Structure 1
Amino acid sequence: MTAVSSNGVYSFSKPNRDSITLLAGLGVEGDVHAGVTVKHRSRMAQDPTQPNLRQVHLIHEELFAEVGGAGFQVAPGELGENITTRGIDLLGLPVGTLLRIGDGAVVEVTGLRNPCLQIDNFQDGLLKQVVGRDEAGALVRKAGIMGVVKEGGVVRPGDVIDVKLPDEPHRPLDRV
């Protein structure tokens, strides 16, 4: 893991921190998106009683290099993620994957982040870089994954992330 970020107020980007504390069943302590029920504004407008499947947002650092090739500069936390990873194929993980982070925190993967127009407000044209189509024409979302905290703990940049896949059959990630 290369960075951790959080913000107690609604904003697109989140400042990097020396550490964040994951709270079981809630998310990142002090983060605006922490809670048992949805905290993302668009989801709250639809139904504020929905369970919060988006407690923790993870992005792979490799995405920054990819969009950099198209002329965009993005740093950890700037796309609103809580945890920036390196060397893990986050987008290829199945639903239910457990990510053991550091000394004991565990995040269960729930699905893909559904990128929104706020990405273009951050940098015009960036949305097209993080949403595309595959060879078959299917929509591909590359702006990270979401998860829920199963076991709490403090996580820091440099912590190791251990990936435990769920039993087969695996369900591919879809937007949450």
Structure 2
Amino acid sequence: MTPRVVAVHSHASHTFSKPTRESITLLEGLGVEGDAHCGATVQHRSRVAADPSQPNLRQVHLIPEELFDELRTSGHDVAPGQLGENITTRGVDVLALPVGARLRFGDAVVTITGLRNPCQQINGFQSGLLKQLVRTDDEGRVVRLAGVMGIVSRGGPVVAGGTIEVELPPTPHFPLTRV
């Protein structure tokens, strides 16, 4: 299966879910045009409160649609955009990508910076959902499944149905950690 964009989302306000759009425009070094998290420095409210001068490593949020398939088996019905992502993907294991992997959406490029670390707000959306998105594996390691974050390395439009090309960084590859 060719990796593709299932849906794109943005919202000008800091809301939990984001409405689906026909397309979004990525702005180099900033994020999604018109989205509340767009900016060169952090836009997430708790991070702004801690240090508003931090670089924004969370300009674009991506979630694989396959996660929604898995969540349905545990009784959680989640649709694209409802967890606040900007791009819903299918056919690429974004959680397994290394730091610095680049995803090409036509001319636009997102460089992956790390894993989304979900907060308690997710349980307000659906009770018990946080336990499904942050788990402990058999070796006692925390596993985060709520998608990945990235920065815009090249601007351009991203449309639902568009293809995704994955470019890995030079070795050695480093696993994603929370950002």
TM-score, normalising length: structure 1: 0.99
Give the number of equivalent residue pairs.
Answer: 175
2:35 is matched with: 31
Deviation at 1:79, TM superposition (A): 0.1
Q: Distance in 1 between matches of 2:127 and 2:167?
A: 37
2:56 aligned residue: 52
Q: Which residue of 2 aligns with 1:125?
A: 128
TM-aligned CA deviation for residue 45 of structure 1:
1.1
**SS, match of residue 132 in structure 2:** helix
Name which of 72, 77, 81 aligns with 2:81: 77
1:173 maps onto 2:176 in alignment? yes
Tell me the SS of whatever aligns to 1:94: coil
Query: 4+ residue runs of structure 1 moved beyond 6 angstroms?
Result: none
* 1:150 equivalent in alignment to 2:168: no
Listed one character per residue, the Cα deviations across residues 54-112 of structure 1 (whole Å, up to 9, x for unaligned) are: 000000001001111011110000000000000111110000001011x2000000000
Between the aligned partners of 1:7 and 1:49, the Cα distance in structure 2 is 23
> Secondary structure in 1 aligned to 2:29?
coil
Alignment match, 1:109? 112
Aligned equivalent of 2:163: 160
| Residue in structure 1 matched with residue 92 of structure 2 by the alignment | 88
Unaligned runs of 5+ in 1: none
Letter paired with 2:50: Q
Give SS of 2:47's match: helix
Question: Could you say what the CA RMSD is over the residues aligned between the two structures, in angstroms?
Answer: 0.5
Task: Give SS of 1:170's match.
Answer: coil
Instruction: In structure 2, list runs of 5 or more residues that go unmatched.
Output: none
Q: Share of identical aligned residues, percent?
A: 63
Which of 16, 19, 30 is 1:15 aligned to?
19
Determine the C-alpha separation between the residues in 2 that align with 1:70 and 1:134: 17
Give the Cα–Cα distance (whole angstroms) in 2 for the partners of residues 126 and 134 of structure 1.
17
